[in-house]
Each structure stands twice: as C-alpha cells, then as structure tokens.
C-alpha cells in the first residue's frame, strides 16, 4: 500500500512537473493546491531534494523545482527515494532484502514467487511512468482527475488490459511504443494476465 508520505511526494512532484521552467514553487503553494499538511510536506520534500530529484532556492522568489526535465524522472525513482524500495515484502526487495525467518526455501515459497511477480510488474509500471507524461495526461492543475485509468494506465479498473480492439484514449500504446498484444515487459514479469 502506498503511504501518505509517498503519495504526497508524488503529488508534489507532479505539481512541480506542471510548473517546470516557470521558476521555483513555494512548498506552501503546493500544500494548498494538493491539500497536503504544510509541516508534513516540508519534511517530505527534503528526501527528494537530498536524492537529487528536487532542488530548492531560499529567499525571495525561492521554493522547490525539479532538478531534471520531467520526462527523465519516473514515479519509481521518486518512490525509491522516499520509501526505499518498491517491493511489497522484504524478501523480494532488490535494495532492502531481508530473508523471512520462517521461510526454509525462498525458491519453493509460493508467496515469495508471487510477490516477485508483483514487484516486477509494479517496477515496470512505475519506472515507465514519467512525471512529464503524467503531468500532461492526468487531471488539471487542481490535482489527479478520475480519468487516469483510460488516459495513462495500460489496464482498466478491472485490471483487464486495454487491448487494441478495445480502443480507449490509451489504445495499445505503452510508453511511446505500440504493441499488438500485451507489452513484452509485463508478459516477462507476470507471465501474462
């Protein structure tokens, strides 16, 4: 489950992507726009700043801004800086691995095997989702709309792939590439749907 800390960091980064090239944005403006508690947001933004995703400028005309072009920053990068890992459980983490005490054989553990697939699918989706793409395709300046599934995600609310013959605003495009079927990345990591 996505923590509030991670959700607020993503919301702030999307605001900064929409404002990219227009100068720094005060954290209090971000907090007000996205309805995030100011004190909490101030602490949260330190992590992406230390991680090289955001920069800040003090004084008059100061605030936060993206350190790189929005197209070169993925949601996966932000979540790794804020949360440390994208893995749903520690025994499948590539960066924060901790073996389960009760597990005798990870390769024979059904939960471990399933969670590796969840980790791989999650990583594929989040690493393919750039701030530029989300900022331009989801909602207005007020926040996330309720139209994100058809405009951005490769599958709909029922976790069914939006196949080419089920044309939506998304169509069969996945990260700028067009596929006849499921994206190969998801087929490799999940074995299909």
List the domain range (segments joined by +) for residue 20: 1-73
- Using one digit for the tens of pLDDT, what is the confidence trace for 100-154? 888 888 888 888 889 888 999 989 999 999 999 988 876 544 333 333 334 444 5
Could you tell me if residue 141 is inside a domain?
no
Check which CATH number belongs to the domain holding 25 and give it. Answer: 1.10.10.10
Could you tell me if residue 67 is inside a domain?
yes
Answering whether pTM is above 0.75, one says no
Could you tell me if residue 108 is inside a domain?
no
Separation between Cα atoms, residue 71 and residue 83, nearest integer Å: 21
Domain count of the chain?
Answer: 1
Could you tell me if residue 9 is inside a domain?
yes
Could you tell me if residue 179 is inside a domain?
no
Could you tell me if residue 40 is inside a domain?
yes
Could you tell me if residue 11 is inside a domain?
yes
Collapsing DSSP to helix, strand or coil, 124 comes out as: helix
Separation between Cα atoms, residue 44 and residue 29, nearest integer Å: 15
Could you tell me if residue 60 is inside a domain?
yes
- Using one digit for the tens of pLDDT, what is the confidence trace for 16-59? 999 998 999 998 999 999 999 999 998 999 999 999 999 999 98
């Amino acid at each position: 489950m996505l923590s509030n800390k991670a959700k607020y960091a993503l919301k702030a980064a999307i605001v900064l992507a929409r404002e990219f090239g227009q100068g720094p944005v005060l954290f209090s403006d971000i907090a007000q726009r996205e309805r995030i508690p100011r004190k909490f947001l101030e602490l949260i933004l330190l992590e992406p700043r230390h991680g090289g995703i955001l920069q800040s400028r003090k004084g008059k005309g100061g605030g936060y801004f993206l350190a790189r072009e929005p197209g070169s920053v993925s949601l996966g990068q932000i979540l790794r800086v804020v949360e440390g890992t994208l893995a749903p459980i520690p025994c499948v983490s590539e960066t924060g691995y901790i073996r389960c005490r009760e597990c005798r054989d990870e390769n024979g553990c059904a939960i471990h095997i399933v969670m590796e697939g969840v980790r791989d699918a999650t990583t594929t989706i989040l690493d393919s989702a750039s701030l530029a793409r989300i900022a331009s395709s989801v909602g207005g300046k007020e926040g996330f709309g309720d139209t994100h599934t058809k405009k951005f995600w490769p599958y709909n609310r029922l976790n069914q792939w939006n196949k080419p013959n089920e044309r939506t605003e998304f169509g069969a495009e996945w990260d700028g590439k067009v596929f006849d079927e499921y994206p190969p990345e998801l087929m490799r990591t999940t074995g299909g749907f």
